[in-house]
Structure 1
Amino acid sequence: MPPPPAAATPLPPFGQGFLVSSLLGCSILWASGFLFIKLSGDLNPFAIAAMRGLLGAASLGLWFAVQGKRLLPEPGELRTWLILGALNGWVPNVLVSYALTQIATASAAMVQAAGPLIVAVMSHVLFPDERLTRPRFLGVLIGFVGMGILIGPAALPESGISPTGSLAMVAVTLSYASANLYVRTIRSADPARLALGQQVCSGLPATVLTLAIAGPAAFAAVPSHLGPILALGVAATAVPMLLFMRLIRRAGPTRASMVGYLLPVWTAILAVVFLDERIGAREIVGGSVVLAGVALVTFSGRRIAPAR
């Protein structure tokens, strides 16, 4: 689950050890979310989304309470919380939970890794100062070629690849990209409060929708999958979000965004080790092409300031 971006603030000094450990910690924990969803078995996707949001909100709320910070929304925050809760929360959480019943874990993560490509295209249309240069446009084209390699075969009946699962992950990517663009329109934001509000307004609507669509019986199987669900809400949601907020405050958004390059790698490793999944040449080639395109889009024409 992508975290909310932070407002621009002066960056305190940090070392390479902090940067490397933070990137590894965030990426591994977020990647484990795919694993824990898969281990949740046949639990209703809406119920998984509800429990993930509620547990994430409870964990962040406890962290706020320990620090003596306000839990209720400030004036004007509720609208932002609701929008992020949908675009960055319950909508993609439900779709990911469904997609992982249809396609392999590694493939799902590689499709989601194309998010920056979607953001680049939409930003080009919406923001005059975000026009695509030729190198970045080339990166977008390369990335979409990788997407075609990953999900294109799903259109063939004999491929054995679920088209609905693949399209669900494309919808997940679009949802996260829309959230990213929305946050850019917010003049100033405390990333910690955005994270808390996002989880609260993800878990509560998902719970209401679960009860309305599937009824209370949808939560009946939660106790039998309590381990993966707790790990999903706390270890794969709340903890990496707190780590990322610290990372983005100290190292800045450009370095922090490198988490996205590590996510599909760790997801693939976890899927092979714990789920006994096999990664074929198509996934390796497609994922590599997507990441190459994303790297070109992300870093073309940009300079990363040296660590202070």
Structure 2
Amino acid sequence: MSAQPAGASSAPTPAFILSNLLICSLLWGSAFFFVKLSGNLNPFVLASMRGVIGATSLAAWFLFQGKSILPQRHELPVWAFLGTFNGWLPNVLVAYALTQLATAPAAMIQASSPLIVAAISHLMFVDERLTPQRFLGVLVGFAGMGILIGPAALPDSGISLTGIIVMVLVSCSYAAANVYVRTVKNVNPARMALGQQIGSGTAATALALVMAGPAAFAAVPSSIVPLLALGALSTALPILLFMHLIRRTGPTRASMVGYLAPVWTILLAVLFLNESVGLRELLGGAVVLAGVALVSFTGRLKRAG
């Protein structure tokens, strides 16, 4: 893969890819669970705490290794872009969407992000062109999105169209960030993860103070345990692993994490949040995930290593 840093190892093995995908998806899939446990925090405040705790966790890891946490000039636009599109913006949107939707359908809609990544990557990168089979996977995935989203257009459906639209925007935001990482060639993946969280935490905190005011942070201490888990375990650690995965395997296969994350999210929601999943959600989610599987597993990505 052309964005692979100099001196990188040979092509990643299937075991490496699968193990990283499983770990990242489990950690990220738990994020919806911890957001729900955080109560009724203002979305900007929740995004602020998630970014600040994530940035603090990664900064401590860097300092422990004796490495600088200050940005270099060429890193500033990368940190700003990722801090927005992979940080505070989707974090705010997810926090709001979960006030309108249950965690299971929200996670299933977010699972469409790999399909968007595949479509964009096809247009931007020669070595990630869609084969006919993978193009079929994109179509199947979007058909599944239609099953999930379509009923919201019906009157008295009881489904929040606003919540669905917000989660689609979340998917688009994550997709844009994943593709962007593929184009960055002069920034270490770990520093991209650090910069993303610093950019996210800084911007989200400023927005929270402007949009909600300092008083909105008064509810933070009562939710500190799930917030710490959200920032450290469901944000800092998986993004660190994911940045390396994108650089090693390319954005299309790395974004497969979106295929697996809803499985963990649904399990946690059913087991611990007393949520139920209907036949339509199961069918739509299964079709989406089948499409993502076709995109990710069919054919061979050229120069994936």
TM over 0.5: yes
Residue number in structure 2 paired with 1:149: 147
Is the 8 Å Cα contact of residues 114 and 258 (structure 2) preserved in structure 1?
no
Letter in 2 for 1:241: I
Is the 8 Å Cα contact of residues 254 and 304 (structure 1) preserved in structure 2?
no
> 2:57 and 2:48 mapped to 1: Cα distance?
14
Match among 235, 238, 241 for residue 237 of structure 1: 235
> 2:121 and 2:21 mapped to 1: Cα distance?
26
> 1:71 and 1:217 mapped to 2: Cα distance?
30
Equivalent positions of 1:166-205 (< 5 A) are 166-205=164-203
- Go from structure 1 to structure 2 and tell me whether the alpha carbon gap of 1:83 and 1:304 turns closer, same or farther (over 3 Å shift): closer
Deviation string for 1:137-174 (max 9, x for gaps)? Answer: 21111111000111111111211110010000000001
Letter in 2 for 1:236: S
Which range moved further: 167-176 or 219-228? Answer: 219-228
Shift of 1:189: 2.7
Residue number in structure 2 paired with 1:208: 206
Shift of 1:90: 0.3
TM-score of the aligned structures, taking structure 2 as reference length: 0.89
Number of residue equivalences: 303
> 1:251 and 1:130 mapped to 2: Cα distance?
11
Residue number in structure 2 paired with 1:276: 274
Match among 201, 226, 229 for residue 228 of structure 1: 226
Residue number in structure 2 paired with 1:44: 42
Is the 8 Å Cα contact of residues 90 and 174 (structure 2) preserved in structure 1?
yes
Shift of 1:234: 1.0
> 1:200 and 1:15 mapped to 2: Cα distance?
32
Is the 8 Å Cα contact of residues 87 and 196 (structure 2) preserved in structure 1?
yes
> 2:300 and 2:205 mapped to 1: Cα distance?
42
SS in 2 for 1:302: coil
> 1:143 and 1:236 mapped to 2: Cα distance?
26
- Go from structure 1 to structure 2 and tell me whether the alpha carbon gap of 1:9 and 1:136 turns closer, same or farther (over 3 Å shift): farther
Is the 8 Å Cα contact of residues 114 and 252 (structure 2) preserved in structure 1?
no
SS in 2 for 1:79: helix
- Go from structure 1 to structure 2 and tell me whether the alpha carbon gap of 1:120 and 1:12 turns closer, same or farther (over 3 Å shift): closer
Shift of 1:302: 1.0
> 1:183 and 1:76 mapped to 2: Cα distance?
14
> 1:134 and 1:241 mapped to 2: Cα distance?
31
TM-score of the aligned structures, taking structure 1 as reference length: 0.89
- Go from structure 1 to structure 2 and tell me whether the alpha carbon gap of 1:50 and 1:263 turns closer, same or farther (over 3 Å shift): same
Residue number in structure 2 paired with 1:83: 81
Shift of 1:49: 0.3
- Go from structure 1 to structure 2 and tell me whether the alpha carbon gap of 1:117 and 1:23 turns closer, same or farther (over 3 Å shift): closer
SS in 1 for 2:186: coil
Which range moved further: 29-38 or 127-136? Answer: 127-136
Residue number in structure 2 paired with 1:265: 263
Is the 8 Å Cα contact of residues 11 and 248 (structure 2) preserved in structure 1?
yes
- Go from structure 1 to structure 2 and tell me whether the alpha carbon gap of 1:242 and 1:275 turns closer, same or farther (over 3 Å shift): same
- Go from structure 1 to structure 2 and tell me whether the alpha carbon gap of 1:6 and 1:218 turns closer, same or farther (over 3 Å shift): farther
Residue number in structure 1 paired with 2:55: 57
Residue number in structure 2 paired with 1:133: 131
Deviation string for 1:286-306 (max 9, x for gaps)? Answer: 11111111121223321699x
> 2:7 and 2:255 mapped to 1: Cα distance?
16
Equivalent positions of 1:88-99 (< 5 A) are 88-99=86-97
Residue number in structure 1 paired with 2:112: 114
Is the 8 Å Cα contact of residues 31 and 234 (structure 2) preserved in structure 1?
yes
> 1:243 and 1:130 mapped to 2: Cα distance?
22
Is the 8 Å Cα contact of residues 59 and 194 (structure 2) preserved in structure 1?
yes
> 2:61 and 2:185 mapped to 1: Cα distance?
25
Is the 8 Å Cα contact of residues 117 and 252 (structure 2) preserved in structure 1?
no
Is the 8 Å Cα contact of residues 9 and 249 (structure 1) preserved in structure 2?
no
> 1:304 and 1:130 mapped to 2: Cα distance?
7
> 1:121 and 1:261 mapped to 2: Cα distance?
16
Q: Which runs of 5+ in 2 are unaligned?
A: none
Letter in 2 for 1:49: A
